Structure 1
């Protein structure tokens, strides 16, 4: 700045002295034609700053230097370098944020800019005379070029575009299935620091709705056979009488007691029982969901159960569901291929057993449950669970000793034989579906017509025959209301 002040002072003196010298020379010399006025240039246009020698002190860069330098914007992949050619030898290099980018000087006119971390910064290259050789705006981004090439090689024919914003990669495009979209996301996660730094914006073409049909079929058979014998004997009063007897000779007399057992009336009861049972269970829930989304349904109810008491001693109530439940997550892998994560359950109250807890009598449930993950084509069926059970139980009870006597032993014992057979099958069928017109759908109430009084009382019908026709309007028939022309 001292140099600038001195030069400006000299320039001012030169401008002030110039007219005086011209006037004095005009007085001493003969008259001559007046010279045209000299147009003075501003100091900035004299480019005096370009002649300042390079000193050891920092040099301030003015707007003139900045405008003369060639600006350049560079998008640099992370952990990669880029060569930069300079018009003249470089003396100083200023990096805005050294944590984002670094500069390696190979020669006075060739340097390499390396990306160290994600972000934006700028770099100034200053020449030997203090002039600004070049200014570079550096944006260090993720290596989307390599990611794009990897996606092209591993997913040929798929239109997947990767765009990086700071440390996040956005995937855009349209793919035919969710499996390809999942593969693209998995590839992109190899290029970022965390899995959450990948945003999936891919669209899936084709039908992406899945209809799942589950069948739970069970047949239970039971057989019971019982033979029960009961003997009832009534003994009268003075049932036993004894008399003294003498056994042996005169020299040895041993008393021996004899008695008489008198039986009044008696009865032998024989119970024979044979019982057969058959139970059939069929549940067929249907549910539709979008690919990748979970769907749930419950056809049944909830029953209360007493829970633990609170601080005031009041018993809380919890509700447990029962009935037919279904939940699944479908994923359309490709044309006609579906992956299913299924959980289905059929539960009902069991009349065979209850639990007593305090003053409460709690019911028990019979449950058929299955949970699995399968893959099948659209319209294909698969059995996901099955059970075949055969239980045999027999028992024998009677009077100890008497029940083992020959011939009359069966009168003092009873036997029981019970056998239960159960067969359970759970099948699933999946369809890739599309919406249809409302008229193409059939409902259970279609064609239902309530029975008339004549059909109900005389014929015992609760409804008329199901017909495909319009339901008649109850009430007065004929034109009603107003006619507006």
Structure 2
């Protein structure tokens, strides 16, 4: 690579450029260096290029007439164009980098040069002379923004920045134009004010309540006269909102159901040798028809009273970042077959329907402790009484709403008090209407169902816990397997907390523990025996006090 930079210096005479390129090359990865080194001429090839032999020079003189370099500089601004009119007709126009400059030929003497983006390229034009010869003119095209326009844009953006800081005194806004983009930096008071700042720059309007509406009533042009001339096509939002931006939502769904049912009635059971007629009363038919021939007639009295109670309490908790949606579901799914037909042929597809506790919400931090919640909690359970073709129904309790709350506040977003009563009576006409006696010829039923439901929500700003804040006990960590004595003798299904009994490996573990305990006891007996012999030896051979010094 050293020879390559020497070659650059000899041909170009730019030692500073060579040194800079050497520094850049040294920072490249090894794979890139190897690839460049393979493509560049080595020391031997460089000597051949610098000192070509006579045959090479003769070949060049026979084949190459002239090497044309750019002769003039042509300047154009990005997204602007210039019309080039020639005195002689043009036969051909070529551009080295079409992504920098675009050429539109209107005629043989008129061409438009359009600047696409900042950069440099070459433009070559061939002219046809009257004598039939061809003339070539080469330009070095430089596409760069006008310094005057850049200076004016900076002034306009500076004024717009000052006006924004006046309109939003609780925020700090900094505008940085880069090419056709506008970078918005700083710190907004809250998320709502940050959205308003971006809306003003984007040309949206804001009503008195602070809500955003589409339109050009209050945009950058309205904030500052002349700002509509600023060439900004996209806005990059880098505004920051101080404070915690993680929101934890607590939801409580509490439901209590009470039911009561009472039945009173008589049933007949009539049976013969070859027939059986049962439950005549209550069959819905107004007539009684029976042939009693050598059969039995039985009378049943039915008088029942039943009460029921059901309690549902669900408390899902979910955490997400301000402005982002989060979903939580705890439950299950059951299959629902669906009949479909393709080409006149019937088929059955299966879809799954979920049930359980579901929670979906989107929080937006409006102030330091004010949070806007779009929340949709729901709770569903299987109702076997609504089964159709083997597919059970669902009892669903849910709500979808948007509320504003302070951190830690609770709000009942939904509530329900429902009281249902129903009654029915079936009897034989005439005799069934006689007091007291009519009860033996009919059946009557009454039911009542009471339901109370409330849905509470509470937001809280949270941050991740440190290691020392992690709770030591999690749900289920203190639940252990009962020992054989606890299970068979005491009839317990949970063991003592803190005593890890494993019924899967206990037979092998018991043998191992017994063996280890036996070895420990054996070692302890050996140690006591050795210690006793040691003290006996001391007492026999040493006169006076003996032992370790203190």
Matches within 5 A, 1:107-118: none
Q: Corresponding residue for 1:314?
A: 347
TM-score (norm. length: structure 2):
0.53
Q: Aligned partners of 2:455 and 2:489: how far apart in 1? A: 44
Q: Aligned partners of 1:158 and 1:456: how far apart in 2? A: 67
- The answer as to 2:423 corresponding to 1:390 is no
Are 1:289 and 1:295, in contact at CA under 8 Å, matched by a contact in 2?
A: yes
Q: Aligned partners of 2:467 and 2:397: how far apart in 1? A: 35
Q: Corresponding residue for 2:157?
A: 144
1:155-205 deviation digits (Å, cap 9, x = unpaired): 113222123345543211233532221121122222468998333211222
1:254-307 deviation digits (Å, cap 9, x = unpaired): xxxxxxxx9998654321010101011111111110111111111011211112
Q: Corresponding residue for 2:171?
A: 158
Q: Corresponding residue for 1:80?
A: none
- The answer as to 2:177 corresponding to 1:170 is no
Q: 1:451 deviation in Å? A: 2.1
Of 455, 463, 471, which aligns to 1:426?
455
- The answer as to 2:449 corresponding to 1:449 is no
- The answer as to 2:356 corresponding to 1:323 is yes
Q: Aligned partners of 2:485 and 2:182: how far apart in 1? A: 74
Of 414, 438, 445, which aligns to 1:416?
445
Greater per-residue helix proportion: 2
Greater per-residue strand proportion: 1
Q: Aligned partners of 2:315 and 2:242: how far apart in 1? A: 30
Q: Which has the larger radius of gyration?
A: 1
Of 302, 305, 314, which aligns to 1:274?
305
Are 2:481 and 2:500, in contact at CA under 8 Å, matched by a contact in 1?
A: no
TM-score (norm. length: structure 1):
0.60
Q: 1:325 deviation in Å? A: 0.8
Report the CA distance shift for 1:466/1:186 in structure 2 as closer, same or farther (over 3 A).
Answer: farther
Q: Aligned partners of 1:448 and 1:355: how far apart in 2? A: 41
Are 2:254 and 2:312, in contact at CA under 8 Å, matched by a contact in 1?
A: yes
Q: Aligned partners of 2:271 and 2:360: how far apart in 1? A: 67
Report the CA distance shift for 1:178/1:224 in structure 2 as closer, same or farther (over 3 A).
Answer: same
Q: Corresponding residue for 1:229?
A: 266
Count of equivalent residues: 332
1:382-441 deviation digits (Å, cap 9, x = unpaired): 111111100000111101122123452222222111000000111011110111124433
Partner SS for 2:403? strand
Q: Corresponding residue for 1:205?
A: 242
Matches within 5 A, 1:192-271: 197-230=234-267, 268-271=299-302
Of 295, 311, 326, which aligns to 1:295?
326
Structure 1's unaligned 5+ residue stretches are 1-61, 67-73, 75-94, 98-117, 121-134, 236-261, 480-485
Structure 2's unaligned 5+ residue stretches are 1-70, 84-115, 119-144, 204-218, 221-227, 273-292, 518-550
